[in-house]
Amino acid sequence: MAHLLHTPFIPSSSSLRRAAVSHRKTTPPLVVRAKIREIFMPALSSTMTEGKIVSWTKSEGDKLSKGDSVVVVESDKADMDVETFYDGYLAAIVVEEGGVAAVGSPIAFLAESEDEIAQAKSKASSSSSAPAPAAAAAPAPPVESQPEKVAAPVAAAVPAPVVVSSHPASEGGKRIVASPYAKKLAKDLKVELGRVVGTGPMGRIVAKDVEAFAASGNVAAAASPAPGKSVAPAGVELGSVVPFTTMQSAVSRNMVESLAVPTFRVGYTITTDALDALYKKIKSKGVTMTALLAKATALALVKHPVINSSCRDGNSFTYNSNINVAVAVAIDGGLITPVLQNADKIDVYSLSRKWKELVDKARAKQLQPHEYNTGTFTLSNLGMFGVDRFDAILPPGTGAIMAVGASQPAVVATKDGRIGMKNQMQVNVTADHRVIYGADLASFLQTLSLIIEDPKDLTF
């Protein structure tokens, strides 16, 4: 029988019984333990190193379901809702509203059941990694006393009092703390958020506060300065030292990093008569000049892929497969570059709609990471402010950025030797000289000029 089973030994029944008994003795008892999980400060962008807690949307003891929004975090680019990945209870908040925490550090504890809440609170209190709120980091006497000195004359000049938020993230009243929807609503209703009293957690302004303020018929009144006295713009406290916001810190780091890249600049004059005429023709259909410039740039980049390339490690460069045109936008307290992805493949009407959507989200600080960190070429346009020419700083990780000046009438000599008037704009491109050379930029700018001076392809 043994040779039929291909084994040299068949255990006896007694040995089988001993093995079975031995197996039963070594089986460990099944123990079910509830879990206490840490909620960490997430990395909401590739450049984010720390985040500020704008507000907790849930309170300690609240029951949470997977996917619920728990906290609003201010990253270096936007305010974003952070969701929980687990069911449970918000047992303990480690970093209060207004506090700053490094990416990856715990900001709260999540208990699996109500029985573990006390244990989670104990664990939170013993945690040595809890950061101090940002408001506490500022020098107490100047921050607390100076707003009071400024408030008195303002109250005398303005019929309706200016409300100073008590929210920790307001940084002593210097920052208005409001929900993203409340900010958008205030913009639509033309309501000055600084005069709205917040009824949300710790004075945060929510949508119903804006609606109530607008319904009351309040209109912002301009303060009349006393003769002979210089008055600072609203929200500016002369002589004060203001720490960088999270976004300003990120911009500062990026600008310093860009100094390590060897760059050069090339300027070009482009006649815009045909582009201006096209814009006037299709402006009523919702087309923006930004979308037209982005489309023209994208079509030129198709023919000059090296301008759309990038060098990140100093040893190689990448021909990017997509043409994603980032456009610089100034927002309250910083700068951000929303991205028009695949701008060469999308019609100018869709690009315009997308651009308006991105700008609204940027100003409400609601852009998602892929909407601002995927640019392969950047546009910076100060032409709408009447600036005729300027240089832009190259964003890290990209090959080139183009600064666009205003289109202005100029006296020029025509091809037949006569004097004429044409609208012209100056563009200056800053490029990474490790990858892009002068002849590359000159050729790209010539192509861009031809597209803008004969823009028939922009509307297809």
The per-residue pLDDT for 10 is 42
CA gap 62, 326 in Å, rounded: 41
In our burial notation (b when 16+ CB lie closer than 10 A, e otherwise), range 278-288 reads bbeebeeeebb
Give the DSSP letter string of 167-219. -GGGTTTTS--B-HHHHHHHHHHT--GGGPPP-SGGG-B-HHHHHHHHHTT--
Pairing type for strands 325-327 and 377-381 reads parallel
Q: What is the pLDDT of residue 236?
A: 74
Please return the burial class of 314, using the count of CB atoms within 10 Å of its CB with bins 0-12, 13-18 and 19+: exposed
**Rounded to two decimals, what is the model's pTM?**
0.61
Distant-in-sequence, close-in-space partners of 261: CB < 8 Å, separation ≥ 6: 394, 396, 432, 434
Cα angle at 78 between 165 and 199, to 5 degrees?
25
Q: Is there a catalytic annotation at residue 433? A: yes
**Tokens at 305, concatenated:** 């892929």
The residue with tokens 């929303």 is 338
Question: What is the model's pLDDT at position 375?
Answer: 94
Q: Answer yes or no: are the C-beta atoms of 14 and 34 closer than 8 Å.
A: no
The secondary element (H helix, E strand) that includes residue 108 is strand 106-111
pLDDT in tens, 358-407: 999 888 888 888 899 899 999 999 998 899 999 999 998 899 999 999 99
Give residue 92's pLDDT.
86
pLDDT at residue 200 in the model: 73
Nearest to 201 by CA among 102, 58, 84: 58
Catalytic pick among 6, 304, 370, 433: 433
Q: Look at residue 267 in the predicted model and tell me its pLDDT.
A: 96
Q: Look at residue 345 in the predicted model and tell me its pLDDT.
A: 95
What's the pLDDT score for residue 136?
38
Which residues in the chain come in under a pLDDT of 70? 1-34, 46-47, 76-77, 127-175, 180, 201-202, 217-235
Could you tell me how far CA 178 lies from the centroid of its own chain?
16
Amino acid at 153: P
Angle, CA of 46, 50 and 56, to the nearest 5°: 110
In angstroms, the CA 74 to CA 44 distance is 9
Per residue, the 3-state secondary structure of 301-342, as one string, reads: HHHCHHHHCECCCCCCCECCCCCCEEECEEECCEEECCEECC
Number of residues that this document lists for the chain:
460
Task: Provide the token pair at 70.
Answer: 């728990």
Query: How far is CA 73 from its chain centroid?
Result: 11
